[in-house]
Amino acid sequence: MDGFQSVAQVTSWFVAGRALFVFIHVLGLACFSCIVAQRLVPLLRAERDFRFDWPWARLEGVLKYWLAQWKQPRYRAAGTLHIFIFVGFLVLAIRAFSVLIAGVRENFVMPGLSGRAGYVYDLITDYAATIVFLCMVIAVIRRLVFKPARYAVPARYGKGHKADAIFLLSLIALLMLADSLFAAVKAAAEAQQGQSAQVLAAFSLPWMLRNVLVSTPLPILGRLYFGAYLVHELTFYFLLCYRPFGIQFHVETSLFNIYFAKLDREILKPVRWGVGDEHLDQVKSFGVKTFEDFTWKHMLDFYSCADCGRCSDNCPANAVGRPLSPRFITSKARDYSFEHYPVLGRASKGPALIGSIYSPDEIWSCTTCGACEEECPLLVEYIDKIVDLRRGMIDEGNVPQSLQKPLKALESRGNPYGKMEKKRADWATPKEFQQTCRVKVLDHPNGAETLYFVDSITSFDDRMQAIGRATARILNHVGENFGILGAAERDSGHEVRRFGEETLFMALRDHNVDAIKASGVWRIVTGDPHAYNALKHDYHDVPPVEHISQLIAREVRAGNIRFKPVENINNVYTYHDPCYLGRHNQIYDDPRDVLDAIPGLARVEMTRSRDRSFCCGGGGLMLFYEPKEEQRMGVKRVQMAAEAGANVIVTACPFCMVNMEDAIKVAGMEGKMTAIDLAELVDQQIARACPEWIEQQATEIRECVTASSDSH
């Protein structure tokens, strides 16, 4: 164009545009490479982590969680905004590359983007730049005006990142503005010179700017063109180099973080990758004590966290005021890493993590419920890190006072209550129970096909023993040839392992595996989700295991269990998903299907249900630990049930039962709310009478319910 030079041709302050932009490119890329290389230093010094298997499954994860932004819509407004920004960035990536090249080579056109394809792509990018710009404006307004609570940083966790976030959002907005101005000025100049001007997408930012500039004198347009390009280049490289200093580093790392994410989330990380159980005695130090004890993948997590606060927003420990907020487990480690592995300066090994950035209470406060991991859009892992930190504390003898006794009891007696082994089967001895059901103790091989693994709480807790008896009666009703290990059973060790006591867990597991093998059973059933999770994922070489809710659902579908109608049709039931049945094992539908099969049973869902279920307060050893908290998790949960309009909470875990019944008392809701285990409810509702009578009862209930809803 006459009087309108390309940016590569312009000479400004005696510097040729091409030379200037080559210099900016080289400098920008060199700085970025050096910064990223420095950021990789701690990862190279970290512990091993085996994440190179299953490439196709990992790619699938990338497509789902990175490209399709699978978890973003869980937060509708913020998620939608993020999806627009992400898609905008993807669309603009090629344009950004073309614009960068334009500084050193005039009239550069990306291969494949000439002609019609280029025309369509340009229109799309005009809209993409506009959408990203608008999203930035909205995001800044959200931060400044609406101030979502989950972004707040309580004083004990240090300074907030609001200023940094707004600065970065503004820079991205500036980048979009410069990009749009660059395109608009060119189109305005072309239009003035009567050339076939580049068509800009109607109502896009470049289109609006072109309309404003269309009668601006050409020399001014030339300067604006060069200025817009220079601003674009400087902003682009500044952003590139600034991002690795804060939360925006996730833009670069998230793809890798998702590719290397844990595929078998339900399986706990081994003490040391590559060291088998039989060689653990040669490991000098267990768990994470210093920053370098984390694995490289866990460090990558620290870089990849976007600080969105969704993990903490869903963390029950955080909700009840325990000194734990998972988001800050990450951000404190990231700050620690930046401090001890600076971009400029020497790397230095810092102090032990516990006592410097983490407190013991913070680490013991976690119930390993998995809500944080379920929510995180970037698949940041928490449970393994927390368990590793606990392993480190246990290794140093740093065990909470209240947990020392149950741990000793587990070591000596195989249960946290310190009860005699021979008393394990006492729950099955009451006379009235034995009149309805006989429970075999499998003290010789091939005594039964199915093992009912009872575990400690159901064996020894007076209230929970009723769940054991209900479970046994159900197994009996469906004709299962089953038995129990009795004195030969030990605690499953599920909580012991999550508590960080790996050696004790191994002893309990090995004892149970030997006893199970000796019994000659073909399959295992348990009513305890913690035992279920341990047998399924922590044990090896044992027969397949089922939770009792799965078995009941199957028998209901097969017609082997029929229910009589509920007696009180005014009761409203809600199902509380135990963490180790739901989130950790995806058993959501079976218990609900069973409830829905009971005639006349009215069921409502709590807002936080299924994979967003709210932990009851933690099972296993958490029953013996008294964390600092403002409110009990169980109390919050029964309040949620009441808000949903329920007056009966059904659960399928003995630990949940302990916490719920306790919470009902603490919340002063006795008489207004009750809790019952699914096995107890099923046992109570099983129709042991003739089917015709049941059908008649069910019809009456249905008529009654219809009449009542008609009258409303």
Contact residues toward ligand SF4 (CB under 6 A) are: 305-311, 315-317, 324, 326-327, 330, 366-372, 375-376, 378, 380, 382-383
Q: CA 659 from chain center: how many Å?
A: 23
Of 369 and 616, the one with the shorter C-beta distance to ligand SF4 is 369
Of 28 and 634, the one with the shorter C-beta distance to ligand SF4 is 634
**Residue that the structure tokens 């908290």 belong to:** 629
- Looking from the CA of 399 toward its CB, the CA atoms found within 13 Å total 19
Shortest separation between residue 332's beta carbon and ligand SF4, angstroms:
12
- Strand duo 545-547 + 523-526: pairing: parallel
Of 371 and 466, the one with the shorter C-beta distance to ligand SF4 is 371
Q: CA 193 from chain center: how many Å?
A: 57
Of 95 and 334, the one with the shorter C-beta distance to ligand SF4 is 334
Shortest separation between residue 258's beta carbon and ligand SF4, angstroms:
11
Of 129 and 311, the one with the shorter C-beta distance to ligand SF4 is 311
In sequence order, the 6+-apart residues with CB closer than 8 A to the CB of 137 are 173
Task: Report how far apart, in Å, the C-alpha atoms of 536 and of each of 209, 285, 492, 499, 532 are.
Answer: 62, 28, 11, 18, 6
- Please answer whether residues 628 and 656 qualify as being in contact, where contact means their C-beta atoms are separated by less than 8 angstroms: no
Shortest separation between residue 325's beta carbon and ligand SF4, angstroms:
8
Shortest separation between residue 345's beta carbon and ligand SF4, angstroms:
27
Shortest separation between residue 358's beta carbon and ligand SF4, angstroms:
12
| Residues forming a β-bridge with 11 | 16
| Residues forming a β-bridge with 651 | 677
φ, ψ (nearest 5 deg) of residue 450: -120, 135
- Please answer whether residues 200 and 183 qualify as being in contact, where contact means their C-beta atoms are separated by less than 8 angstroms: yes
Shortest separation between residue 303's beta carbon and ligand SF4, angstroms:
11
Q: Which of 334, 346, 178, 368 is nearest to 265 (CA)?
A: 368
Rounded CA-CA distance 699/711 in Å is 18
φ, ψ (nearest 5 deg) of residue 529: -60, -30
Shortest separation between residue 287's beta carbon and ligand SF4, angstroms:
17
Rounded CA-CA distance 209/177 in Å is 9
For 566, the enclosing helix (H) or strand (E) is none
Of 414 and 578, the one with the shorter C-beta distance to ligand SF4 is 578
Q: Which two tokens stand for residue 643?
A: 């808000």
Rounded CA-CA distance 34/530 in Å is 47
Of 603 and 612, the one with the shorter C-beta distance to ligand SF4 is 612
* Burial of 349 (C-beta count, 10 Å sphere; 0-12/13-18/19+): exposed
Of 185 and 320, the one with the shorter C-beta distance to ligand SF4 is 320
Shortest separation between residue 608's beta carbon and ligand SF4, angstroms:
12
Of 186 and 494, the one with the shorter C-beta distance to ligand SF4 is 494
Shortest separation between residue 199's beta carbon and ligand SF4, angstroms:
40
Rounded CA-CA distance 659/675 in Å is 10
| Residues forming a β-bridge with 450 | 482, 523
Shortest separation between residue 168's beta carbon and ligand SF4, angstroms:
15
Shortest separation between residue 324's beta carbon and ligand SF4, angstroms:
6
Shortest separation between residue 655's beta carbon and ligand SF4, angstroms:
14
Of 496 and 622, the one with the shorter C-beta distance to ligand SF4 is 622
For the chain, the C-alpha Rg in angstroms (whole number) is: 31
Of 171 and 383, the one with the shorter C-beta distance to ligand SF4 is 383
- Please answer whether residues 610 and 638 qualify as being in contact, where contact means their C-beta atoms are separated by less than 8 angstroms: no
Q: Which of 538, 545, 255, 531 is nearest to 387 (CA)?
A: 538
In sequence order, the 6+-apart residues with CB closer than 8 A to the CB of 104 are 8, 18, 21, 22, 25
Shortest separation between residue 251's beta carbon and ligand SF4, angstroms:
12
Shortest separation between residue 703's beta carbon and ligand SF4, angstroms:
45
Helix (H, G, I), strand (E, B) or coil at 322: coil
- Strand duo 11-12 + 15-16: pairing: antiparallel
- Please answer whether residues 458 and 654 qualify as being in contact, where contact means their C-beta atoms are separated by less than 8 angstroms: yes
Of 189 and 306, the one with the shorter C-beta distance to ligand SF4 is 306
φ, ψ (nearest 5 deg) of residue 565: -65, 155
- Looking from the CA of 519 toward its CB, the CA atoms found within 13 Å total 31
Of 330 and 651, the one with the shorter C-beta distance to ligand SF4 is 330
Rounded CA-CA distance 173/132 in Å is 7
Task: Report how far apart, in Å, the C-alpha atoms of 522 and of each of 209, 333, 575 are.
Answer: 74, 46, 31
Shortest separation between residue 299's beta carbon and ligand SF4, angstroms:
14
Of 311 and 657, the one with the shorter C-beta distance to ligand SF4 is 311
φ, ψ (nearest 5 deg) of residue 16: -70, 140
Of 185 and 380, the one with the shorter C-beta distance to ligand SF4 is 380
- Looking from the CA of 141 toward its CB, the CA atoms found within 13 Å total 7
For helices 218-242 and 162-192, the axis angle rounded to 10 degrees is: 150
Of 73 and 227, the one with the shorter C-beta distance to ligand SF4 is 73
Shortest separation between residue 457's beta carbon and ligand SF4, angstroms:
20
Which DSSP symbol is given to 483?
A: E
Shortest separation between residue 581's beta carbon and ligand SF4, angstroms:
15
Q: Which of 384, 392, 381, 320 is nearest to 358 (CA)?
A: 392
Of 319 and 657, the one with the shorter C-beta distance to ligand SF4 is 319
Strand order in the sheet with 602-604: 602-604, 572-575, 648-651, 674-677
